[in-house]
Structure 1
Amino acid sequence: MRKLGAAIAAGTAALIVAGWFYRPSTSAEWAAWVQTLGVLVAILWAVRLQIAASKQGERQAAQVAAMFANNMHWVFRELNDACGKCSWDDYTVHRRILHEVLAQGREVTLQLLDGRSLAMVSSLRTIAVEALEMTEGHGRDGNWVRLHNYFDRRLPSISAWMSATGNPPESSGPTDYAGLRTSFG
């Protein structure tokens, strides 16, 4: 934004100097000056709109990344609870939701994220893929303790990423997983 301000100031100064030494004397010269000013204003307005659109895209990407992290934290807590209770029904529903959360995480535009948010989304995607691979062969009579320990170990990592990016996890109650479309009733 400073560069744009400096360019505007330099352009304005150049026009003032040129106008001082080369004053328009005919109506055609006045029309040319007015047209030149109009073109410059239009260019500056287009640059301003482009900068605003870029910043809006960055904000939206950061919001989607934060929502992805919140959803990951929520679904890992739910999977941890389901494994702790050895509840097959809860486990299967939340494993399906984990698929949807991962799909949501893949929609985050990585090019628009800054360093920490980029690292968080990349790490959480990896954790989600690892969790899906680890739970793929799990059945009703599977090793619930091993899965419970796995999810229990990953929760602090997810919380740490959320805190590092300025989105600390909620301490009470389930996190709203807005944006997910599930058909699980």
Structure 2
Amino acid sequence: MLKPSDTWKWYYNETNKSLMLDLGRDMVFSVNLPQKLLVNSAFQENEFSVDDASSYHKFKQQVDVLPLSEPRKAELALNSVAARRFHKPVQPKSWFFSSQGGDFAPEEGEIVHLRNCFSEGHFMVVEVGESASICVSVSLRDFSLTESKALKFGEPIKVMHDRFAKANLHTQFETYAMVG
């Protein structure tokens, strides 16, 4: 299992046009956030902070219930930490999702359910706002937003809270476990 270290460093790689996390011992993680979504501080070297480590542990604990391999869980947790820390403020893109009614108030790290006429799936909330939150897809399958646009595993999107529903993880993933 990957354990956070105070020697980890965030930096922007101009050649790859990607935010990176130097994990030491010749290991580097490439974050999935596009350059246009990064705040200015992402283009400087930054330490992997105590807050980052705390978020990593919270996100990792949440994704441990998902039917993913350990490397995929670590990837999802690290991309979630990067989105929480370096994602630019953006407007919600809620039109891609169906309203699920109610007055849902998600918590950071919570797994939620989103749907539209093309897909339905689970997402993890990585940054909670007053009426909308940034969440990342936790499914290995692409989540279709339209006929030609999809969210990939770990990709972030900001969504209004009325689109979220509580995820029923135990029922959902016990079914997967019985098949394998």
Whether the TM-score (by the shorter chain) exceeds 0.5 is no
More helix, by proportion? 1
Structure with greater Cα Rg: 1
Q: Which has the higher contact order (CA 8 A, sep 6+)?
A: 1
TM-score in terms of structure 1 length: 0.22
- TM-score of the superposed pair, with normalisation by structure 2: 0.22
